[in-house]
Amino acid sequence: MTFGKPFEPGREKTGGRQKGTRNKISEAFLKDLHSEWERSGPATLKILAMEIPGVFAGLVAKVLPTAFDDEYPTRITIVTGVPRVGDPSPPPGIS
């Protein structure tokens, strides 16, 4: 049994979700994620930085922009409170 092509050339658009519109599940997930971030986000980041610094560094690398302005270079220092052999002393003002 053949029903033809689902997307025939020249056929008018009959609706569908507009570009950029989220479905109900993703909208609910983002709302829940935001709510949980408001509750425990900073504390969770601090625990992650101290207990699994490699994962934390990976998260930072994904979130920060990949290119910096040459005129105003950015220095990133991750302070976990755990001294490591070979680490330089912290910048002034950070203890």
Q: Are the beta carbons of 77 and 57 closer than 8 angstroms? A: no
d(CA 68, CA 64): 10
**Domain ranges for the chain:** 24-63
52-81 average pLDDT score: 73
pLDDT number for residue 61? 80
| 14-58 confidence digits (pLDDT tens) | 777 777 677 778 888 889 989 999 999 989 999 999 999 999 888
Q: Count Cβ atoms below 10 Å from residue 59 Cβ, excluding itself.
A: 14
